[in-house]
Amino acid sequence: MLIKTKQNPHKLLTHGYERTDPYFWLRDRENPEVIAHLEAENAATKASMAHTEYLQNQLFEEMKNRIKPDDSSVAYRLDNYYYYNRFELGKEYPIYCRRKEDMKNPEEIILDVNLLAQGKNFCELGGSTVSTDHRYLAYAVDYQGRRIYTIYIKDLETGDLLSDEIPGVTGNMVWAIDNFTLFYSKQDEVTLRSDRVFRHRRGTSVAEDVLVFEEKDETYYIQVNKSKSRKYLFIHSSSTLSDEVSYLESANPEGTFTVILPREKEHEYAVDHLGEDFYVLTNDQAKNFRLVKTPVINPSRTHWTEIMPHRPDVLLEGIEIFRDFLVLDERKNGLNQIRIMPWSGVGEYYLEFPDPAYSAGVDFNPEFDTQVLRFSYQSLTTPASTFDFDMISRERTLLKQQEVLGGFSPENYLSERIFAQAADGTSVPISLVYHKDTVKKGDAPLLLYGYGSYGYSMDPYFSAARLSLLDRGFIYAIAHIRGGSDLGRQWYEDGKMLRKKNTFTDFIACGEYLIKEGYTRKGKLFCMGGSAGGLLVGAVINMRPDLFFGAVASVPFVDVVTTMLDEDIPLTTGEYDEWGNPAEKEYFEYMLSYSPYDNIQKCPYPHLLVTSGLHDSQVQYWEPTKWVAKIRDYRTNDNRLLLHTNMSAGHGGASGRFEPYREVALEYAFLLDLAFPELVNIR
């Protein structure tokens, strides 16, 4: 029996609108009644899903057993070392290793995360970086899931942990070339906005660390990194729609950072270095970005030389610089492209990929003086693969493909790329995958996944866990809706701010199209999304509660208006350019018109599973908690309405290699039980 959720209503008055929130009290994580409520919800979910426990365990074991227990990553070369990580049988966390000069030489374990995690309910390794001389490893660890890290420094020559311990940081850090100076970023204690960069000298007290940069604009976040040449350190200060990059010679760590281009509204840019020039990826007069170079000694616009002009049909997403080649990460017609351009200007070309829907991109390439490009590739039917590509001979070598145990064969699965028509006539891509034995006659259950925010593109990716759905007859589809950058920058802009509802109507159009074309039928269509994708789920089940039979919302951002009015909550101030600032009436009213929490109505809602994390710093646990409580009080049917809160984790769920799959197993069991209730009786 759940405890009573309504208490004295909290009144909110904005722009003349009075909103009452009887569930506002659930925001107090220190209140024992709140913890009791979350535990009661967890108990109710466990009881409701008790009949699926065998299926959940079966699913978990399937997912776990598809993973090679003693797997390792592909080694990359940095100077005279080869770095990689590996897993050992029965262990949850990676072991980071290296070998000197040749992979045949003895292995050196530089960090065993399993040892860090001993006795901990949660353990997440944040950033890690090796000093230029390869002797010192700086790494950051979070033991709560709130993404507040502590930096440690290890002497790799002696194996000793130094006395340096830097708490309360973001996990972002970089060594200067002197091997003594470490720059790191720190966050505001209330909002968790990364706002400061400090300089730390190895072996000194944290109290002596020097503040070298402070970002006082509450809409900006900062990050410190290094050019590929390792000659320059960069502080990147960015908001949703604006960037400012400052630089400092790595050999002069006690110098002053100098701004490359002062921040301007709606000017986004990123910088790398080659020779005497900075290479600037910029959207200045280029919605889909262009590439210019400019002298380090005077990087102003008046000295720009254009390398790659703007193209209205191609989004330029990134660059990789080599001695003899420039490599471009591009996106055209919603698909990734890798373009190879010799600096000589002769003989440029594109890599070719076989699948109708896929994900490809430049991988980690720390070496400058090489003709070999490392890139990654995967599709809905092809496991994640790493290739080395000789840019002169054009020979590609498969270094590693994710090994999927349990008899997996890609020939057993089919993928498609189709297009639905949105309400305004826009064509919206959909990527699908299903088992070859699944008969597409309108009776197959279909899970439609979406995100559609922040310009993040949802590329078709392989999932070994997803096979547990496909092998049982589900079709899986990704809706490439507006709000992402799947079809370029305009695709993003048409799904944000005062056009945000396009994201939701696109998703609805995709669902309707899949029914119309006979991929599934009403009563068999399900949806799923997480974080801002959870906002998507919440919005569409308010707009069309009849369309989906069941829905899964993971750590959903559903209390949009209240959250965006609260500047003390992490992420709020930096997201005004994504959602709008509700202090302005126009944006307040528009947010209010779609915010899932504010638009709950008296109607029959689909079956709903909601997951959350008590220590989530991105979507506070109380948003999904309040949302579920309010739906429970408003809905007019008795479909399943379940909330599961991980009491030991944050936004990303459980830590470790295998434990996160227990939560996936819960979600899949929820879907499979609704689609094939007879499955739960199979032993």
Average pLDDT, the chain: 93
List, in sequence order, every beta strand (DSSP E) within 239-310: 243-249, 258-259, 269-274, 277-282, 290-295, 305-308
Which residues neighbour 182 within 8 Å (Cβ) at sequence distance 6 or greater?
Answer: 138, 151, 153, 173, 174, 175, 176, 199, 200, 201, 202
Selecting among 531, 595, 612, 655, the annotated active-site residue is 531
Q: Specify the pLDDT at position 11.
A: 78
Q: How far is CA 15 from CA 26, 572, 586, in A?
A: 25, 19, 10
657 within 8 A of 67, measured Cβ to Cβ: yes
User: In DSSP terms, which residues pair with 375 in a beta bridge?
Assistant: 362, 387
Q: Specify the pLDDT at position 300.
A: 93
137 within 8 A of 130, measured Cβ to Cβ: yes
**Cβ atoms within 10 Å of 176's Cβ, excluding its own:** 23
Judge whether 531 counts as a catalytic residue: yes
Q: Specify the pLDDT at position 370.
A: 96
pLDDT tens digit sequence for 191-214: 888 999 999 999 999 999 999 999
Q: Specify the pLDDT at position 9.
A: 74
- DSSP one-letter string for 352-408: ---SSSEEEEE-----SS-SEEEEEEEESSS--EEEEEETTT--EEEEEE--BTTT-
**Cβ atoms within 10 Å of 164's Cβ, excluding its own:** 19
Residue where the block lists tokens 């002169």: 392
Q: Specify the pLDDT at position 655.
A: 65
pLDDT tens digit sequence for 516-544: 999 999 999 999 999 999 999 999 999 99
Task: Name the 3-class secondary structure at 633.
Answer: helix
Judge whether 379 counts as a catalytic residue: no
Nearest-Å Rg of the Cα atoms of the chain is 25
Q: Specify the pLDDT at position 3.
A: 45
Distance, in Å, from the CA atom of 194 to the CA atom of 197, rounded to the nearest integer, reads 9
φ, ψ for residue 244 (rounded to 5)? -145, 125
Distance, in Å, from the CA atom of 588 to the CA atom of 499, rounded to the nearest integer, reads 14
User: Full-prediction pTM beyond 0.85?
Assistant: yes
Distance, in Å, from the CA atom of 162 to the CA atom of 260, rounded to the nearest integer, reads 35
Judge whether 616 counts as a catalytic residue: yes
Full 3-state SS string of 170-214: EEEEEECCCCCEEEEEEECCCCCCEEEEEEEECCCCHHHCEEEEE
Q: Specify the pLDDT at position 18.
A: 83
| Burial degree of 464 (CB within 10 A; 0-12, 13-18, 19+) | buried
Q: Specify the pLDDT at position 90.
A: 85
Selecting among 273, 435, 480, 651, the annotated active-site residue is 651
Run means of pLDDT, 10 residues per run, the chain, 683 residues? 60 82 90 94 96 95 92 94 94 94 94 94 92 97 89 96 95 96 93 93 96 94 96 96 96 97 96 97 97 96 96 97 97 95 95 94 96 98 97 97 95 96 96 91 92 95 97 97 96 97 98 96 96 97 98 96 82 82 94 96 98 85 95 96 88 72 96 89 58
Selecting among 21, 459, 486, 616, the annotated active-site residue is 616
